[in-house]
Amino acid sequence: MSNFNPSRLFNACCFALITTAFAFAIRAGILSELSTKFNLSDTQLGYINQMAILGFPIATIVGGWLYNEFGAKRMIWLALISHLLGILLTISANGFGLLLLSNFFIGFGNGTVEAACNPMIAAMYRDNKTTMLNRFHVWFPGGIFLGALISQFMSNAGMGWQAQIAVMLIPTAIYAYLFWGQTFPQAEAAGQAKLGENIKGMLNPLYFFMLFCMILTANTELSTQQWVERLLGSAGGAQPMLILAMTTGLMAVGRYFAGPVVHRFNPTGVLWGSAIIAFIGIYLMSQATGAMTYVAAIMFAIGVCYFWPTMLGFTGEYIPKSGALGMSIMGGMGMFATGIAQPIVGSWLDKARAAAQGQGLTGDAAELAAGQHTLTNLLTFPAILIVAFGLLWFYMRGRKQA
């Protein structure tokens, strides 16, 4: 275990995660251009988003088994091949069908990065797992922040969607170089007894309740962010990609310093408070135009900042027998549910736009009305969470840690 370079491997993992984040941010930034270029409806754009997101949980679920069978090295090269194939196919896409296929490969690469890097970092930093995994996961919102700024700059410079997709090759090449020729830590085979214990731990009403909540928390965060350009593109002077950069930048900082917040309010308190703040943020975005959109987006960022890591942390802390498998399935459920929701969100936009046009609105006015109506629909997710996490808070007050 002493003949590998943990610092170089960790940095390589971070650039691999930045590639994942760039895919999310740049896809959000080019949706309108894809719609115009290929004459796609928002429902069709939703299916493109869906394929990119569904590739992620498929890879993480399969990858949990593959990691133990094949080790980190082969998993990393599988991620690299998937990323390269997806990026190059997207750049050469000539229509809806190839965009579906190429985005699936990108999503599969993204999920394979998670499946390979999480256990590898845990193996390299046995005495400092939580800190290093948190530092690794900072680069998802951090990478979206960078990707959103790059997308905005390139759009302002008149650089099209293909050039923006090509930017993803930069972090891909960097992580390939950093991993090249390196010795990897050995995978620890998961015994059948351990797997059985994990499955038994997941057969718990509390775990199923949290799976339901994960569907809602993931969609509150990711469905809103993925559609930011279409939702806020006509909000009177607001720059959607700058909003995405601002919100994810705040989330990266918040997650880096999450420890004191979670310690002060405990996980259930953080989740309940986050649901309330996220509801307020999305509501304000559904009403705001111009500069006030940025204020509303800040509120939204504060609300969703701690959702994902706290859901996983709650699973590890209060349902410990579910183990790494339970946390993997929890995260996979979040991504799977978000993928399923993408065509639905797209159809909300299409129907709301048609209704606005039926009322005599045209151009930006119709787009603004469609975006605001869709944001109102998205309020359903945090509204349910406010009730669910409130009940969870009261339940956990009288329950000792498992």
Tens of pLDDT along 50-77?
Answer: 998 888 888 877 776 677 677 788 889 9
Give the separation between CA 340 and CA 219, rounded to whole angstroms.
10
Quickly state the pLDDT bin for 2 (edges 50, 70, 90): low
Q: Which superfamily is assigned to 197-402 in CATH?
A: MFS general substrate transporter like domains (1.20.1250.20)
Give the separation between CA 203 and CA 198, rounded to whole angstroms.
9
- Note the pLDDT of residue 235: 73
CA Rg, the chain, in Å?
21
Q: At 351, which amino acid appears?
A: K
The residue with greater pLDDT, 64 or 358, is 358
- Note the pLDDT of residue 383: 97
**68: which residues sit within 8 A by CB, 6+ positions away?**
187, 188, 189, 190
Phi, psi of 3 (to 5 degrees): -100, 20
**Residue closest to 102 by CA, chosen among 26, 156, 39:** 26
By three-state DSSP, how is residue 311 classified? helix
**Strongest mean pLDDT among 134-143, 146-155, 208-217, 359-368:** 208-217
Q: Which CATH architecture has domain 1-179?
A: Up-down Bundle (1.20)
Query: How many Cα atoms within 13 Å fall on the side-chain side of residue 377?
Result: 18
Could you report how far apart the first and last alpha carbons of the chain are, in Å?
33
Domain boundaries, the chain: 1-179, 197-402
pLDDT of 138 strictly over 80: yes
Tens of pLDDT along 62-118?
Answer: 776 677 677 788 889 999 999 999 999 999 998 899 999 999 999 999 999 988 887
Token look-up 């002077």 returns 237
pLDDT of 192 strictly over 60: no
Using the Cα atoms of residue 33, residue 34, residue 40 and residue 45 in order, give the sign of their dihedral.
Answer: negative
Average pLDDT over residues 257-282: 86
**Fold: same for 1-179 and 197-402:** yes
